[in-house]
Amino acid sequence: MGISILFGTSEGLVDQHHAFLYDNGKMQLLPTLSGARLTWPEAINKKSGVIVGARTINPEETYNDWRAMVWIGGQPVDLTSLLPPNSGWTLYFAYAVNDAGQITGYGYNSNQGTIHAFLLTPVESKGNQ
């Protein structure tokens, strides 16, 4: 019998919904970024354990308040923060992650003034260069 990993959201005590993993009968709340009232996991890569989704500080508002997230080793990261500052992108939702670590989703590109799908491909770190 293999290990199954499930994920979803769990309603907290103060109307907050947060992502969790469910593995072998145990629920593990995933950490979130500061101020998030709702975290929404969309996909998990079973090979790497990387989870993608989104979070918002105001679930009643439009997608402008949402930010694409990734959990790597259980730690949350805002995907937009990984882009160059002048990229013009604000990433709203991440929907999938493959075995190569590529992440798909959609966001807003202020340089073009439009919402587009994105594909992020990890790059090797060059250390302190």
pLDDT in tens, 80-99: 999 998 999 999 999 999 99
**pLDDT value of position 129:** 43
Q: Does 52 reside within a domain? A: yes
Q: Is residue 127 domain-resident?
A: no
**pTM for this entry:** 0.80
Question: Residue 95 belongs to what domain range?
Answer: 5-120
Q: How many domains does the chain have?
A: 1
Distance between CA atoms of residues 72 and 91, nearest Å: 17
Q: Are 54 and 42 in contact (CB under 8 A)?
A: yes
Do 4 and 46 meet the contact criterion of CB atoms below 8 Å apart? no
Q: Is the dihedral of CA 57, 59, 62, 63 positive or negative?
A: positive
